[in-house]
A and B are shown apart, each in its own frame.
Chain A
């Protein structure tokens, strides 16, 4: 069963002869519970693809279906609801709100839900415990380390328990120890049934994924499962 279906997905900037095709003709399917690493050189179209998968960057050609929903046929409000219900984002530069505490940052996706404050707080504390930051709920982002910020970003991404986690270079600003910690966290989430799609430059990080899609000049060059992956997953 395919959960995410990309059908001739493409994105161009400009028009006519001057048009730049960031991504073109992408066809792939991702099953529920897969851990996919998207790799490629700079400018290969990785982030553009992630933006399209994240319902934030409308394609100029093709369609994207998630759980049977034609994502870009949704109106702006439903598209926002879709992001909140289906997707969790982890950004390379964390993108935490500096004036909100750690737990308030984690609760951010719940701010527009109808749950009561105690329920929101309980879920945020659970997410923080999941990433090992239960004791730093009251700190501000400026008072914690880079690795901890990344974990807060992960907690914020999973607090809504979305079926899909999207991560853009999640270890780009971290040392190797913190990078491994984040990757193991992703593996745990993936093992619990969450679909994880991660853009990365790191071959080591891609080894944690069960599937590696490699882009070049906006096109899908390779799409395969790796033996290394199996070893890392086993460990």
Chain B
């Protein structure tokens, strides 16, 4: 006969109440585990997508004269007349410490050309990189090959050209391979060529005007990436598009705050369930506690019995709560259909955290009922029957 045996027997006898407390704690812990797992997986997923959603680092030649507005952002200076970046120098990007965080490198050759008797801006781009850097592009037709051109929506309208029609650029005949649907950006005004075609047209062989870089910066400060790139490209100016980075991070932070706020509320309610149920249980057991005290149990022994009961239920709630939360997160991720692939992995640290959380919550919520039980006057308890 031990205090532990008394606790276990009482739990077995009052299965309904034990189940109610267990359910309250399981819901609380499962919510936290579920949200935490979901948020972690989603954050990782969102971060991955956000990082791919366009460039967040821009590399331009050093200049003090002209400014370039791009995508509504002031991105610094570039001049077509200044010494341009050599394409071969871009290989150095693979040598920076955080090179694994680089998702795409998009070199651009800019130039003004005479197109069908109009002056317009042309951009030579790497279309493989553009798939990552410009995921919002909807192309009617296909990406161009050499001697082909992809027109922005406004450019196509102004020139009155359709896919398959020919046009003359600086006296060179090109064919329209496709048309980008309206984006609302500066891209609508441009004509896009392959990098090689643009370099030939503008006599910029092996040179590029600017570089867009998409960096996966969930786990690395963007400033570090900027410093590392600047170090390997001393002749260029490297800038982070801070607005993009900040908005990405703020969006994630807001999502996390909201989720953890909900978790805190559910946990608080779970704690209240334990508190109220344990208080009811103590009141029901007035006679029993009176007997314990009459046969010589100290107040601390009574508290031990109550805490042991709460501890056993809490530990179980931690295990079940982790399982339920994990399953809920996996189901939510599967149902959300946001492209999150692969099963949610078992996280030992989170499982341990769930058990510890359940124990802390259950035991803290039991402090008052345990004190109430220990303070019961044995004479009053037995006389009240």
A interface residue numbers (CB < 8 A to B): 47, 51, 54, 56-57, 76-77, 80-81, 83-85, 87, 89, 91, 93, 95, 97-100, 104, 107-112, 117, 120, 124, 156, 160
Given A84-B295, A108-B291: A51 and B13 interface contact (C-beta under 8 Å): no
B69 located at the interface, meaning its Cβ lies under 8 Å from any Cβ of chain A in the complex: no
A/B interface sample: 16 pairs, CB < 8 A: A54-B294, A56-B377, A56-B379, A77-B299, A80-B293, A83-B294, A84-B295, A87-B296, A99-B9, A99-B13, A108-B1, A108-B291, A110-B1, A112-B296, A112-B301, A156-B295
> Number of B residues contacting the other chain (C-beta, 8 Å)?
29
| A97 and B297 contacting across the interface, CB-CB below 8 Å | no
| A91 and B296 contacting across the interface, CB-CB below 8 Å | no
Most buried by A among B5, B6, B294: B294
| B291 and A51 contacting across the interface, CB-CB below 8 Å | no
C-alpha gap A124/B295 in the complex (Å): 14
Most buried by B among A99, A104, A109, A124: A99
Given A107-B1, A111-B6: A98 and B297 interface contact (C-beta under 8 Å): no
Given A83-B294, A93-B385, A108-B1: A100 and B9 interface contact (C-beta under 8 Å): yes
Chain A residues with Cβ below 8 Å from B63 are none
Q: Closest residue of chain B to A88, judged by CB?
A: B295
Chain B residues with Cβ below 8 Å from A80 are 293, 296-299, 301
| B288 and A97 contacting across the interface, CB-CB below 8 Å | yes
C-alpha gap A97/B5 in the complex (Å): 13
B interface residue numbers (CB < 8 A to A): 1-3, 5-6, 9-10, 12-13, 287-288, 290-301, 377-379, 382-383, 385
Given A93-B385, A99-B13: A77 and B298 interface contact (C-beta under 8 Å): yes
C-alpha gap A148/B299 in the complex (Å): 30
C-alpha gap A100/B291 in the complex (Å): 13
| A56 and B378 contacting across the interface, CB-CB below 8 Å | yes
- Which residue in B1, B377, B385 is a CB contact (below 8 Å) of A111? B1
Chain B residues with Cβ below 8 Å from A110 are 1
| A108 and B9 contacting across the interface, CB-CB below 8 Å | no
| B379 and A117 contacting across the interface, CB-CB below 8 Å | no
- Which residue in B294, B296, B382, B385 is a CB contact (below 8 Å) of A81? B296
| B293 and A56 contacting across the interface, CB-CB below 8 Å | yes
Q: Is the interface of B mostly helix, strand, loop or mixed?
A: helix
C-alpha gap A55/B137 in the complex (Å): 87
Q: Closest residue of chain B to A76, judged by CB?
A: B299
- Which residue in A104, A112, A160 is a CB contact (below 8 Å) of B298? A112
Given A56-B379, A99-B9: A83 and B295 interface contact (C-beta under 8 Å): yes
Chain A residues with Cβ below 8 Å from B300 are 77
With contacts A95-B382, A109-B295, A111-B3 known, what are 17 further pairs, Cβ within 8 A?
A54-B294, A54-B379, A56-B293, A56-B382, A77-B298, A80-B297, A80-B299, A83-B295, A84-B295, A84-B297, A95-B291, A100-B6, A104-B5, A111-B1, A111-B297, A112-B296, A156-B295
Q: How many A-B residue pairs have CB under 8 A?
A: 82
| A57 and B379 contacting across the interface, CB-CB below 8 Å | yes
Chain B residues with Cβ below 8 Å from A91 are 382
Q: Closest residue of chain B to A81, judged by CB?
A: B296
Chain A residues with Cβ below 8 Å from B298 are 76-77, 80-81, 112
| B294 and A89 contacting across the interface, CB-CB below 8 Å | yes
Chain B residues with Cβ below 8 Å from A56 are 293-294, 377-379, 382
| A89 and B295 contacting across the interface, CB-CB below 8 Å | yes
Chain B residues with Cβ below 8 Å from A87 are 296
| B293 and A112 contacting across the interface, CB-CB below 8 Å | no
| B12 and A99 contacting across the interface, CB-CB below 8 Å | yes
- Which residue in A47, A51, A100, A108 is a CB contact (below 8 Å) of B295? A108
Chain B residues with Cβ below 8 Å from A47 are 383
Chain A residues with Cβ below 8 Å from B301 are 80, 111-112
C-alpha gap A56/B377 in the complex (Å): 8
C-alpha gap A120/B385 in the complex (Å): 30
Chain B residues with Cβ below 8 Å from A120 are 1
Chain B residues with Cβ below 8 Å from A109 are 295-296
Q: Closest residue of chain A to B304, judged by CB?
A: A112
Q: Closest residue of chain B to A58, judged by CB?
A: B379
C-alpha gap A102/B297 in the complex (Å): 19
C-alpha gap A77/B3 in the complex (Å): 17
Chain B residues with Cβ below 8 Å from A89 are 294-295
C-alpha gap A120/B2 in the complex (Å): 10
CB distance from A79 to the nearest CB of B (A): 9
C-alpha gap A57/B2 in the complex (Å): 27
CB distance from A111 to the nearest CB of B (A): 5
| A83 and B296 contacting across the interface, CB-CB below 8 Å | yes
C-alpha gap A107/B296 in the complex (Å): 12
Chain B residues with Cβ below 8 Å from A51 are 379, 383
Q: Closest residue of chain A to B374, judged by CB?
A: A76
C-alpha gap A104/B291 in the complex (Å): 14
C-alpha gap A51/B380 in the complex (Å): 10
CB distance from A162 to the nearest CB of B (A): 9
Chain A residues with Cβ below 8 Å from B287 are 95
CB distance from B14 to the nearest CB of A (A): 8
